[in-house]
Amino acid sequence: MKKILYTFAVALLAATFLSSCEDFLETEPVDKLVPNNFFQSEKDLELYTNSFYQRMLPGGLEVVQGDEWGDYTSKNQSPAYIAGYYSSVDEGAWSWSDLRNINYFLENFDNETIPQEGRDHYEGIARFFRAYFYFEKVKRYGDVPIYEKPLATDDEEQLYKGRDSREDVIDFILADLDFAVSSIRDGKDNSSSMITKQVAQAFLSRVALFEGTYRKYHQELGLSSTAPVLLQKAASAAQGVMKSGQYSLYTTGTPESDYRTLFISENPVQQEVLLAVVYNNALKRWHNITWKFNSATYGNRWGLNKQFVNTYLQLDGSRFTERSGFDTIQFVREMDNRDHRLAQTVRSLGYTRSDGSAAPPNFGYTYTGYHLLKHSLDDKRLDGISEAYNSIPLIRYAEVLLNYAEAKAELGEFDESVWNQTIAPLRQRAGVNTNMPLEADSYLTETYFPGITDTYLLEVRRERGIELCYEGFRYDDLLRWKKGELVEMPWKGIYVPGLNVPMDLDGNGTLDVAFVETVPNEKVSGVIYFVVDGTNSILSEGTSGHIIWRANESRDFSDKKYLHPISNTDLVLNPNLGQNPGWE
């Protein structure tokens, strides 16, 4: 066993940082060269810490794929974790090489010939990324071992150590982020590609909100008494960004397009976007999100579910679900006069591609009819190649406002002032009436959040789902709210009045789709025929009703799934790690 573990340790310790100094690093072993000859100037610190961005921040597709696990998404099929057999054998081994690179820097960067302010700044950058690394680990595994220094091959005690408690790891993360906020230079990065003081504050608000609500709703942890402190920290961090005056919601007073501009712009919209994955057509730095959203084979045919689409308000601020017969309104009518973010998130009435051609929801690319548009460019050429060049936001000012609003609501401190700072401006940009609601939304309570009766907390959760849709937040939100069972929801699509009746989805007088049991020999030109096979797909009322995709799929989110299992590989290497409850 020890031989296996030491082999693993040697492999782990062989990992070294990647930076633009590649040729330089190849000349000698990094553990001899770097401390003595590399960390000699602030430029050296910058070069080393730049490698963290490349290695640790997600790519654009990875961001949107995060919502593939959420409750509001339909796709080809659920992951095995939710709708299949999954055990510790299926869990991949965790990696610690990024942490080793960070800790190596923190152990060796502190050269007194470099001005203290510069050293503090880059230490703050490194500690931000260490917090980022550990936050991802905590969300997935709960308790994890804390390592503050690179491991040595002969450090048997550390190699064999068990996991540190969730509470200690969160304290470790918050200490790193507090240092980052106090030490990283206070200047706006107009490229939205670097870690700044405000980025660190915004991320701190995200972490504290996640953990504060996680502890509040996961009573089994026995940490609920500590939740208010974390929620207050989330509010304070968000407020720090708000008071800095460096960011605001992007708006030109055009609610029909302002929201989407944030997600299809080549250069990040610096007014609102704090941090982004930056793509550039001239430099041929591209992604494939448009292809994924508009392909029957390459993509997963993602789409939103009807239950979630129902949560979008009418433009006058009234609730769509209070309209008479709301659940059986056909697509062409249900999309009319709604929160403008809906038509900028999924294909809706009047949407056209860049060549001017009509582009209703395509049932070759989606199963529910709520065909995703957000992040997708209008050029048809990009439907089949990985050459999309719009930058993908990682942290937006809108999230900061929502973090503040939710923390205040959870603390019981939400009032008209908070509403006017947060929810009201988001709705105003979307063209929605900004009046505060007078009573709790029964649809949200019954469909999503039984037990939550607070009017404003429900509205914050509505707004968070809509505003941050397909930005990689929803699954994490379900985890912290202890609402994992929502992923078991049916994948419910548009209302279909009857089989074999072609439908005009965008109201332009052209027929677009027909739901059939068998594709007819004589087809109507331009119509996509969606086969209702009675197994994978059904209509909720037999020959009419909502299309239900994967009707035969059994989904399960038992309590153990709030944390992933520790992989068998890692347990073999270090049995002291122990297994998460329910995965033994």
Give the C-alpha separation, 179 to 544, whole Å. 59
Give the chain's length: 584
Map out the domains of the chain with their CATH numbers: 2-185+563-577 (1.25.40.390), 189-278+391-472 (1.25.40.390)
Query: Helices (H) and strands (E) in the chain — how many of each?
Result: 23, 9
| Residue 23 pLDDT | 36
Tokens 């996991």, located at residue: 163
d(CA 515, CA 299): 22
pLDDT at 37: 77
Q: Which residue has the tokens 């009509």?
A: 358
> What pTM does this model have?
0.93
What is the distance between the alpha carbons of residues 457 and 459, in angstroms, rounded to a whole number?
Answer: 5
Cβ atoms of 105 and 48 closer than 8 Å: yes
> What per-residue confidence (pLDDT) applies to 156?
85
Residue 299 has a pLDDT of 87
**Which residue, among 108, 212, 195, 97, has the nearest Cα to 147 in the 3D structure?**
97
CA torsion 289-94-72-318 (nearest 10°) is: -100
Could you give the angle at which helices 116-141 and 42-56 cross, rounded to 10 degrees?
A: 20
pLDDT at residue 98, rounded to an integer:
97
User: What is d(CA 369, CA 141) in angstroms, rounded to the nearest whole number?
Assistant: 35
Show pLDDT as tens, one digit a residue, over the chain (584 residues).
333 333 333 333 333 333 333 333 333 444 444 566 789 999 999 999 999 999 999 999 999 999 999 999 999 999 999 998 999 999 999 999 999 999 999 999 999 999 999 999 999 999 999 999 999 999 999 999 999 999 888 888 898 999 999 999 999 999 999 999 999 999 999 999 999 999 999 999 999 999 999 999 999 999 999 999 999 999 999 999 999 999 999 999 999 999 999 999 999 999 999 999 999 999 999 999 999 999 999 989 999 999 999 999 999 999 999 999 999 999 999 999 999 999 999 999 999 999 999 999 999 999 999 999 999 999 999 999 999 999 999 999 999 999 999 999 999 999 999 999 999 999 999 999 999 999 999 999 999 999 999 999 999 999 999 999 999 999 999 999 999 999 999 999 999 999 999 999 999 999 999 999 999 999 999 999 999 999 999 999 999 999 999 999 999 999 999 999 999 999 999 999 999 999 99
Q: Which residue has the tokens 């595994």?
A: 141
